[in-house]
Amino acid sequence: MFSRHNRTIAALYVLADALIVLASCAFAYYARSHFFPHLRVFYTGRFYLWLMPAVLLIWICTGLAAGIYREIREEDWRSVLWDPIKVNVVATLILLAFTVAVKDEYVSRLLITIFCVTVLAVMIALRLVARQLGPSLRATFGNVRHLLVVGRTPEALEIAREIEENESHGVKLAGFAMPGPSSGAVGATEMTPTESGLRRSYPLYALRDLAELLRAHVIDEVIFAVSREELEGLEETFLLCEEEGVKTRVLVSFFPHVISRVYLERLRDMPLLTFSTTPENELLLLAKRAVDLVMALALTALLSPLLLILALLIKLTSRGPILYRQTRCGLGGRKFTLYKFRSMHEHAESQRRELLPLNELDGPVFKIRDDPRCTPVGRWMRRFSLDELPQLINIIKGDMSFVGPRPPLPEEVAHYERWQRRRLRMQPGLTCLWALEGRNKLNFRRWMELDLEYIDTWSPALDWKILLKTIPVVLLGRGAS
């Protein structure tokens, strides 16, 4: 249904799930201490107080990352049952890993088992109850909203079908209004299921009779799904709805866009219709940046012995600097310095022109499987992507992310087709969808298409999926050169 309404319902589900998690924590502690007091030594409640906010954070963040609050469909059985199962399995694994990592032996495994079973059962029960009682609760606490659709375009019929599908959410189609020189009294004709493809017949009104229609019937919202030419002549109709206090919505499908998401933004008090083809959820993007920073700092500390060994091997086996610095294009085409462990001889860059005939990739990208400029240590590092480890510095600085399109060279960008430049509108990363499909085995066009597919379908869950699938690819050295 309407995104703002869906966000409200989603917020209520987040709150309800948070209360379920906290209540399940309390119940699990009570059940463990009262029903199984002599199984093993059981510590008092103060030892578990710190665990409750950690558990709450794990469960809610897992639900958000899994996207179970993105679109609430209580009528969908798969959503009702599968969403809680999916969240609880992943969150339970994270909780177990967390308790092992912090080495808290006093945390009762039976308590965790009781908690996980309880929270899963109650989350499913909540959704089953909402599925059964949702329509009656909406009828009790909120009136059904009657929507009038203006227009007879294919888009108008699609809106009508969507309203029919969501009648359980408290909306009802009041009928259609036709712009132009229509004749006849209010409600004199109707649109039948045969010609509309809808479930039932609906009144067909003349838009010029809207003032009388608003007085004679309950109309809460008017949705305009007309052509651009018809829209230009509806100024008086908009003013009428504004004077009557009727909410109006306008379908903007006639604007020249194919994949853009459209939303209304305000600059002070000036409304701006906004088209965007990249992720716009600032909260999720901020969370992505926070996770990148924490992970990069942790990995830098954890891998510091390996980094020192690699630096020493490079220094002892070939002349030149340990780090190789190269200008790359980042977000929006911003230039930044990318860091890698040097894997080639000191003057390798000057030999590139001579080796161009050996390039194995199409498009503006240059890559040779057995590059003669590589040092023995460098060839081994590149096989397992160890030469990329200094890019943790780029992630800490904010130039890159763990997951995103690879940052291209400026001379490569200069040869991009127009549609390929959109990949620059997402923070570049160490790995992306192309790494899972073949890395350097892909042709250039497919590489670009996968980067754009990542941008169009981005979510935190997709990032984690790519990261987890990249690990075995890197460890086995598949597709690297």
Among residues 141, 163, 183, the one where a domain terminates is 141
Report the pLDDT value the prediction gives residue 235, as an integer from 0 to 100. 86
Burial class (CB in 10 A: 0-12, 13-18, 19+), 95: buried
pLDDT at 371: 77
C-alpha 5/C-alpha 16 separation (Å) is: 17
pLDDT-wise least confident of 25-34, 97-106, 423-432: 97-106
Closest CA to 206 of 222, 221, 187, 219: 187
Check residues 365 and 459 and name the one with the higher pLDDT. 459
In a domain, 265, yes or no: no
First-last CA distance in the chain: 48
* DSSP secondary structure code for residue 344 in this structure: B
Domain count, the chain: 3
Higher-pLDDT residue of 248, 352: 248
* Residue that is last in its domain, among 117, 141, 165: 141
Q: Domain residues for 162? A: 145-254
Q: Kindly state the percentage of the chain with pLDDT values over 90.
A: 27
Which of 432, 344, 421, 418 minimizes the C-alpha distance to 381? 344
Which region among 108-122, 133-147, 408-422, 438-452 has the lowest average model confidence (pLDDT)?
Answer: 133-147
178 and 109 within one domain: no
Residue with the larger pLDDT of the pair 181 and 435: 435
Asked, for residue 334, whether it belongs to a domain, the answer is yes
Whether 14 and 124 map to the same domain: the answer is yes
CATH of the domain at 196: 3.40.50.1980
Say yes or no to pLDDT of 265 above 60: yes
Identify the CA nearest to 354 among candidates 368, 341, 342, 343: 368
- Round to whole Å and give the CA distance between 151 and 157: 9
Do 85 and 184 belong together in one domain? Answer: no
> 193 falls in which pLDDT band (50, 70, 90)?
confident
- Mean pLDDT over 41-57 rounds to 70
Same domain, yes or no: 347 and 334: yes
Q: Which of 14-18, 39-43, 434-438, 469-473 has the weakest average pLDDT?
A: 39-43
What integer pLDDT is reported at residue 199 of this predicted model? 84
437 and 293 both lie in a single domain: yes
Residues 116 and 71 in one domain: yes
Q: What is the pLDDT of residue 110?
A: 81
Given this model, what pLDDT does residue 357 score? Answer: 67
Pick the more confident residue, 471 or 463. Answer: 463
Let me know: does 14 contact 69? Beta carbons within 8 Å: yes
Same domain for 50 and 170, yes or no, is no
- Could you tell me if residue 268 is inside a domain? no
pLDDT at 397 over 80: yes
pLDDT, position 189: 77
> Do the domain assignments include residue 172?
yes
pLDDT digits (tens, 9 = 90+) for 209-232: 888 888 888 888 899 888 878 887
Residue of 260 and 124 predicted with greater confidence: 124
φ, ψ at 94 (rounded to 5°): -65, -40
Averaged pLDDT, 376-392: 90
- 264 in Cβ contact with 274 (< 8 Å): yes
Q: Residue 185: what pLDDT?
A: 45
Q: Is residue 264 part of a domain?
A: no
> How does pLDDT run across 116-141, given as a tens digit for each residue?
999 999 999 988 888 777 666 555 54
The answer on 346 and 198 residing in a single domain is no
Whether the per-residue pLDDT at 183 is higher than 70: the answer is: no
Q: Are strands 247-250 and 221-224 parallel, antiparallel or unpaired?
A: parallel
178 and 120, same structural domain? no
**Which of 68-82, 97-111, 294-308 is the most confident on average?**
294-308
In a domain, 378, yes or no: yes
Is 260 among the domain residues?
no
- Structural domain contains residue 262: no
Query: What confidence score (pLDDT) does residue 112 get?
Result: 84
Residue 287 and residue 399 in one domain: yes
**DSSP calls for 59-100:** HHHHHHHHTTTTS--TT-HHHHHHHHHHHHHHHHHHHHHHHH
The pLDDT confidence band at residue 184, using thresholds 50, 70 and 90, is very low
Among 91, 113, 141, residue at a domain's last position: 141
At residue 470, the pLDDT reads 87
Mean pLDDT across the chain, nearest whole number? 82
Give percent above pLDDT 70 in the chain.
84
Work out the burial of residue 236: count CB atoms within 10 Å of its CB; fewer than 13 is exposed, 13-18 middle, 19 or more buried: exposed
Residues 335 and 292 in one domain: yes
Radius of gyration of the CA atoms of the chain, in A? 29
Are 368 and 442 in the same domain? yes
